Amino acid sequence: MSDVVDFVGVGIGPANLSLAALAARIPHSTSEFFETRSRFEWHPGLLFRDAMIQVSYVKDLVTLIDPTSPYSFLAFLHRSGRMYRFITAGFPRVLRAEFDQYFRWVAEQLPNLVFGDRIRAIDFDGKSFTVSSDAKRIRARHVVLGTGLAPAVPAFAKGASTIDVLHASEFLTSRPSICGRRIAVIGGGQTGAEIVLHLLSEAERLPRHVTWIGRRDGFLPIDDSTFTNELFFPAHVRRFVHWSRAQRLDSIARNILASDGISLSTLTAIYQRMYVLDYIENGPVSWQLLPHSEAIDLHRRDDAIAVSALDRTTGTAHLIDADVVIFATGYRYEIPECLDPIIAKIEIESDGQLCINEDYSVAWMGPSDNRIYVQNGAQHRHGIADPNLSLMAWRSAVILNSIYRRTVYETESAHSTFGWSAPTSTKR
């Protein structure tokens, strides 16, 4: 254990896969990445056949930072012999299943990714981090946490998990029986919409009844307009991190539909499917939509799971009997247990979030020459783009520049129309 690598990556999801792909192009860079799962997987419980990513395929692992990288989505299309077919197919967005193929293709090419090995503890010996996994110990100057987000369910549902009460992230892997049953979907964002569409579209496995519950005033579309999309510019993040905590949280709440609205194509497909079910197929499925409603309780009675929902506008209480309850209620960041040996040295905010610096490093009492970085766990500090694919490559580049204390990758090239002067024209 004498050699010290530049950094260790904990977890191999898209964020740390981006970091690994960009680091692979840095001469003499040394790193190792560890993942508990036996292979790369990207939300396998939600890989619906027709689901599409909500961002441009240019926002892949590397392209916005290194367009010449051999690990780009276009390189994947070329290497897999499908470039012309992909262009001709004219998909409005890339199928999520195809982006999953792309991620796995990149993961298979990088030799420093270790699957099937869990990081158990991260300690610090005064000079470097000691990272202990099930199979080995390794010393590193820095650590990059890419453990992802944990499924979030309301407090009243904790402990109720069964094959018939589940988080959306488990839907396709658990495969609850839905044919002829009553299904309640809780959550009015993109994931809830995709599950509702899937339930209504399974011709051979149609449920008897579907109830869709969402807290918002309606089942609202994503704000994918041009100026709103500048919230996903590096320049916006550079400004956002210097706002007060109250300003940051207010901005995230006000702009939630920029990251968590429903794709118009999905909304249209649901509406059209309901029309066909009602008027063409003579109503084989009944359905109930409950927007501006909040699920507040869940309990079993007789042969049903009773879900209590409160209409936030009228105060009316709804009691829904279901056979299967699916929580499409999002995710939250949890501090990984492997940090326990040094957690006393790490600065934690009042709400339990990690205190994170502008370069995505964690504020801690160790030396500045040794840093802990966080991927996809800094929304409270860096804004709504943090859990999104849009700035994944840029964030990885920021971290690499910080690790190597030099400009390995250019990260300041994106200009915004808000609050900054226009970029200087290039004279020809």
pLDDT digits (tens, 9 = 90+) for 253-303: 999 999 999 999 999 999 999 999 999 999 899 999 999 999 999 999 888
Of all residues in the chain, the percent with pLDDT exceeding 70 is: 96
Q: In 214-275, which ranges are E strands? A: none
Of the CA atoms within 13 Å of residue 189, those in its CB half-sphere come to 14
Q: Which of 195, 194, 163 is nearest to 176 (CA)?
A: 163
pLDDT attached to residue 413: 64
pLDDT band at 158 (very low <50, low <70, confident <90, very high): confident
What is the pTM (predicted TM-score) of this model?
0.94
pLDDT band at 422 (very low <50, low <70, confident <90, very high): very low
Burial group, residue 80, by CB count within 10 angstroms (0-12, 13-18, 19+) = middle
What is the Cα Rg of the chain in Å?
23
Domains of the chain and any CATH numbers: 4-149+333-404 (3.50.50.60), 155-222+261-327 (3.50.50.60)
* pLDDT average, residue stretch 318-345: 96
Residue 94's φ and ψ, nearest 5 degrees, are -80, 140
Q: Are 53 and 100 in contact (CB under 8 A)?
A: no
* pLDDT average, residue stretch 171-198: 96
Q: Are 281 and 203 in contact (CB under 8 A)?
A: no
With H, G, I as helix, E, B as strand and everything else as coil, classify residue 312: coil
* pLDDT average, residue stretch 157-183: 93
14-69: per-residue pLDDT in tens? 999 999 999 999 999 999 999 999 999 999 999 999 999 999 999 999 999 999 99
Average pLDDT for the chain: 94
Query: What is residue 233's DSSP assignment?
Result: S
Of all residues in the chain, the percent with pLDDT exceeding 90 is: 91
pLDDT attached to residue 414: 60
pLDDT above 60 (res 423) = no
pLDDT above 70 (res 6) = yes
- For the residues of 361-424, what is the DSSP string, one character each? BBPBSS-TTS-EEESS--HHHH-TTTTSSTTHHHHHHHHHHHHHTS-SS-------SSSSPPPP
209-265: per-residue pLDDT in tens? 999 999 999 999 999 999 999 999 999 999 999 999 999 999 999 999 999 999 999
Per DSSP bridges, beta strands 129-133 and 137-145 are antiparallel
pLDDT attached to residue 421: 39
Output b/e per residue, 201-215; b: 16+ Cβ within 10 A.
beeeebbebbbbbbb
* pLDDT average, residue stretch 107-125: 98
pLDDT band at 204 (very low <50, low <70, confident <90, very high): confident
Q: In 90-171, which ranges are E strands? A: 113-115, 119-124, 129-133, 137-145, 150-151, 165-167
pLDDT attached to residue 283: 87
117-136: per-residue pLDDT in tens? 999 999 999 999 999 999 99
With H, G, I as helix, E, B as strand and everything else as coil, classify residue 178: coil
Q: Are 42 and 177 in contact (CB under 8 A)?
A: no
Please list, in sequence order, all residues whose beta carbon lies within 8 angstroms of the beta carbon of residue 406, skipping any fewer than 6 positions away: none
pLDDT band at 417 (very low <50, low <70, confident <90, very high): confident
